[in-house]
Amino acid sequence: MQEIYPGFYHEFKCIANLCEDSCCKDWDIDIDSETEAFYQTVQGPLGDKMRRLLVTDEYDERVFRCTNGRCPFWNSDMLCDIYIGIGEEHLSNTCANFPRVAVDYGNFREHILSFACPEAARFMLKNTRDAYADFGGERELGLSDESGDYMSFLLKARERTLDFLLNPDEPFAYRLADCLEFNAQVQSLLDNVEPAPLDLDKAESQGCGFIFDMHQSFEIMSGEWRSALSETAEKAQELKIRDDFAADFEKFALYYVYRYYLEAINSGDVLYSIKRIVCAYLVTGKLDALFYEKGYPYPRMRILQRYSKEVEHSYDNTEALNSAFDTDDRFEVENLIALLEEQI
């Protein structure tokens, strides 16, 4: 198994109580079965508290429920009582690994950091595509004959998508439009359909209000995020995404493509990840434009990081987006291209 890491991966270190948006905040904490078995044996008040608070959630996972926005073991010094009481080696897999994510593709495994962690987000905002050089194409990954053409094709399409996404000669909205157009062709090939040119004359932009409506209907964890979203939604149509937003957003998009594009190996759909990036661009870009007017009460990194935490990291929200892409004409490639062109 070939293990692939971005160049900055091993430099990452959790900044614990210095973190501005801890992973001990807003989320239920998954407890894997091995960790739970150990927690059942811990003596004293800590063990009693762990057993009392372990519950089964709606996905049939064992969790510590987040209470008033906090993990119940996150203490007033913003440190973890489990870590202090029984040691780092007894943290659950979720706590021990976050923000490290590994995705297994059979004969290679890609490791990445999650943008939902502010410190990881800072690393990703500082690094360019060069940091992901090992993610490469089939030759670099040494794919064997048994790996199948499908994965080789997706790896090449992923690199080509990034060429469009990072093209410095185009405004960012046009780059996203190019990614959509290219991936519509890729999708036709995956579906064994002759790729046809897009009929852009028939495309109609519906404005970005429906995307904001959708994001406001999502499960939202933070009141701050909810009010920023609602304030932005009211002015979304007239807010202009700032030119300098592209330099940061392209790092988020780079991360997103490496993290999600190859999901198509299971879903058979390369457009899901690209359309989710388009939604993220419009929502965070308009939020950024509003925050610029207000002197950035919440820095740009936090806008992208919070989007990752609120939307990308929610299974339900991601599924809601994918399902709308399947059923709502406003998300058709041509219509999204028209919407992007309107942003220039």
Q: Which of 7, 9, 19, 83: binder of ligand SF4 (CB under 6 A)? A: 19
**Would you say 49 and 87 are in contact if contact means Cβ atoms under 8 Å apart?**
no
Q: Name residues contacting ligand SF4, limited to 104-133 (CB under 6 A).
A: 117-119
Contacts of 211 by beta carbon, 8 Å cutoff, 6+ apart: 279, 282, 283
User: Is residue 22 part of the contact set for ligand SF4 (CB under 6 A)?
Assistant: yes
Q: Which is nearer to ligand SF4, 83 or 153 (CB)?
A: 83
Q: Which is nearer to ligand SF4, 42 or 78 (CB)?
A: 78
Distance CA 87, CA 80 (A): 10
Closest CA to 262 of 43, 104, 76: 104
Q: Which of 39, 49, 99, 161: binder of ligand SF4 (CB under 6 A)? A: 99
User: Is residue 338 part of the contact set for ligand SF4 (CB under 6 A)?
Assistant: no
Q: Which is nearer to ligand SF4, 94 or 273 (CB)?
A: 94
User: Is residue 98 part of the contact set for ligand SF4 (CB under 6 A)?
Assistant: yes
DSSP assignment string, 96-134:
HHTTEEEEE-SSEEEEEE-TTSHHHHHHHHH--GGGGGG
User: Is residue 15 part of the contact set for ligand SF4 (CB under 6 A)?
Assistant: yes
User: Is residue 23 part of the contact set for ligand SF4 (CB under 6 A)?
Assistant: yes
Distance CA 301, CA 247 (A): 12
**Residue closest to ligand SF4 (Cβ):** 19
Distance CA 261, CA 21 (A): 27
Q: Which of 7, 8, 9, 14: binder of ligand SF4 (CB under 6 A)? A: 14
Collapse the DSSP code of 29 into the 3-class scheme (helix H, G, I; strand E, B; otherwise coil) and give the result: strand
Given the rule CB under 6 A, which of 9-17, 183-191, 209-217, 228-236 is the region that contacts ligand SF4?
9-17
User: Is residue 16 part of the contact set for ligand SF4 (CB under 6 A)?
Assistant: yes
User: Is residue 324 part of the contact set for ligand SF4 (CB under 6 A)?
Assistant: no
Phi first, then psi: give them for residue 156, nearest 5 degrees: -70, -45
Distance CA 76, CA 70 (A): 10
**Would you say 87 and 97 are in contact if contact means Cβ atoms under 8 Å apart?**
no
Q: Name residues contacting ligand SF4, limited to 216-245 (CB under 6 A).
A: none
Q: Which is nearer to ligand SF4, 252 or 272 (CB)?
A: 252
Q: Which is nearer to ligand SF4, 25 or 330 (CB)?
A: 25
- What number of other Cβ atoms are within 10 A of residue 236's Cβ? 22
How far apart are CB 119 and ligand SF4 at their closest, in Å?
4
How far apart are CB 106 and ligand SF4 at their closest, in Å?
28
Q: Which is nearer to ligand SF4, 98 or 164 (CB)?
A: 98
What's the token pair of residue 174?
A: 């046009």
Q: Which is nearer to ligand SF4, 12 or 210 (CB)?
A: 12
In which residue are the tokens 């293990």 written? 3
How far apart are CB 168 and ligand SF4 at their closest, in Å?
31
How far apart are CB 98 and ligand SF4 at their closest, in Å?
5
What's the token pair of residue 181?
A: 């157009």
How far apart are CB 207 and ligand SF4 at their closest, in Å?
35
What's the token pair of residue 112?
A: 């990445």
For residue 75, how far is the Cα from the chain centroid? Answer: 28
Binding site for ligand SF4 (CB under 6 A): 14-16, 19, 22-23, 98-99, 117-119
